[in-house]
A and B are shown apart, each in its own frame.
Chain A
Amino acid sequence: MEHIEFRKISKSYGAVEVVPPLDLSIHQGEFIVLVGPSGCGKTTTLRMLAGLEETTSGQILIDGNDVTNKRPGERNCAMVFQNYALYPHMSVRENIGYAMKVHGTPKDEIDKHVDEAAELLGLSDYLERKPRNLSGGQRQRVAIGRAFVRQPQVFLFDEPLSNLDAKLRVEMRSEIKLLQRRLNTTAVYVTHDQVEAMTMADRVVVMRSGVIEQVDAPITLYERPVNRFVASFIGSPSMNFFDARIEAGVLMIGDQRMQLAAKDADRIGDYGNVVFGIRPEHCREAETASHLTFDVEVIEPLGSNTLLLGKIGGQKIMTQVDPRFIAEAGALATVPIDMQAAHFFNPTTEERI
């Protein structure tokens, strides 16, 4: 069932259109992540859903009701902000219970809900503290608790983990995901971090300059990106791209020749000029592997694997190889390429072929 619907919503500041008309449907209980580089309009889109920004045109529906012109408070959403946005003069208990108190919930009921949320988020020992005396992670937990006790229709997250350190980010990631599962509340989450998007989302919305490039499950985005932008944005380390040519089932990069996988050879065996994309982790042995030789410039051992950075005829390449792979900076190296995992894009439209 569609829970949230964006119908041709757009946002302009004066003559500058930051979000061109955009359509998106979100299902009941779904965890949707909006991801894209800075300034791609993801936060603006979220804020329009929250009611904190007015839409220039279009409609937003929540649960079938048009909320486009409703105040933020009438939309029954709860939002978690990047900077926590806690009330600095209130204790953790007051912060979490404040909305309930204002809306006239009896005191014992507030206490019950607050204690429950605190228990769940590991905040029981800090209930009487002020936000100033909490760490970043604890503050964000309070903010999540505050959203959670309201039992809203929709959770909105605006880069909630950006201010936390890497370790905490990984922890909180799964906590938020678990909470959302438990409550089965629809969640819209904004981040610029594609790892966060991939790990948390049921479906990821990849945006660029206000335009939705692709909406799909994380694994589909990874395996079948619709264009070069999505391909380069999703996956870490990011995909390599080479200007290449396909003729008679053979891919040519400069003077190097690689045999296409059978499925591709049938489909695009004589395509001509293409952009060939291969992820660093797909530079591996496989049944249909071809080989690619390049100048190694930098070797980055990461322990579980090693990254080789180099160039093929002026085009950059990064490959991920076994730690025991023998390579030397300044010399040539030949790596296998799993052609089953190759991607091809049209050089002018950049669409997937």
Chain B
Amino acid sequence: MNDRVKHIFIWPAFLLVLVITLFPLIYALTVSFQTVRIVPPTPARFVGFDNYADILANARFWGAIATTATIVIISVLAQYAIGLSVALALHHNVPGASLFRVTFLLPMFLAPVCVALIAKMIFHPVLGPANEFFSMFGLENLPFLTDPNFAIAVLIAIETWQWTPFVVLLMLAGLQNLPAEVFEAARVDNISAWRRFRDITFPMLLPLSAAVIFIRLIEGFKIIDTVFILTGGGPGTSTETLTLFAYNEGFKKFNIGMTSALSFLFLIVVIVFGTLYLAGARKLTQRYAQ
């Protein structure tokens, strides 16, 4: 145990981790307690929790949390509901399943920036096909991107469109891993398709579902590119998400200290939402634990 050789093996790895992951984190944490302005350059000054206090007192921060949470929660629920349905359909080999299997996955492979640009064209208030479609029902020139509620709805729709395939992919893998005999046993026992889903498929997929939703929640909170391109956070700050808020602080006002503090608050927000979610999910999965 007292072999000195072990140090040779441990230290390089430890230092690497320290330099690559811990140092930036600690550095950012320090900066968050300072005022640092790049433009105009001012010397760093320690201000304690002032940055945090400022942000917490800022209504724009709370607005960003509400906007982000609305987009994330609604879109993730939609992604899961649609994704699981599609996965079930693909699993049961609906006609044309192999074609759908490929096409349904395509949105996921697009860069969010491209998706946002496409969406911007589609939802153009005058020229877009969405406008044309709704015009057929007498609803002309809907303010898709200029009315706060419409804009949020559009963002939710885009998030759902882009990330449902991810849910489909994982849920399909999960479905295909379930033991076939269990379902055959249920069929022989005259259990209807709906009860098979409700009592067997769904509970058996719960642990996976919990994980998939968790991944999507965490990823969803980072939403910035689509918002940046589509609405730029507007109208006003009504669609400004947390990351976009941080971006504006950092790269428009060049207030680095404030931005660092904001990043840590963002981390706390994600941890809070994540923990709440995991607590709920654990309760559910434990009831159906295997």
A residues neighboring B (CB under 8 Å): 50-52, 71-75, 77-79, 81-89, 98-99, 102-103, 130-132, 143, 146, 150, 156
Contacts and interface: CB of A to CB of B under 8 A. Distances in A.
A86 B182 contact: yes
B188 A87 contact: no
Contacts of A82: 181
A270 B26 CA distance: 101
Given A85-B179, A89-B203, 12 more contacts: A72-B188, A73-B187, A73-B191, A78-B188, A84-B181, A86-B182, A87-B199, A88-B290, A99-B190, A99-B191, A130-B289, A150-B189
Given A77-B188, A78-B188, A99-B189, A85 B200 contact: no
Contacts of A50: 184, 188
A230 B92 CA distance: 41
- Pick from A73, A75, A82 the residue with the most CB of B within 10 Å: A73
Contacts of A156: 188
B57 interface: no
B191 A79 contact: no
B182 A130 contact: no
Contact of B204 (A75, A89, A99): A89
Nearest to B187: A72
B45 interface: no
A52 B187 CA distance: 8
Contacts of B187: 51-52, 71-73
B253 interface: no
Contacts of A75: 188
A230 to B, nearest CB: 31
Given A88-B204, A89-B204, A99-B190, A79 B290 contact: no
A50 to B, nearest CB: 6
A74 B191 CA distance: 10
Contacts of A88: 182, 204, 290
Contacts of B288: 89
A74 B184 contact: no
Given A83-B181, A88-B290, A89-B290, A52 B189 contact: no
B195 interface: yes
A98 B289 CA distance: 17
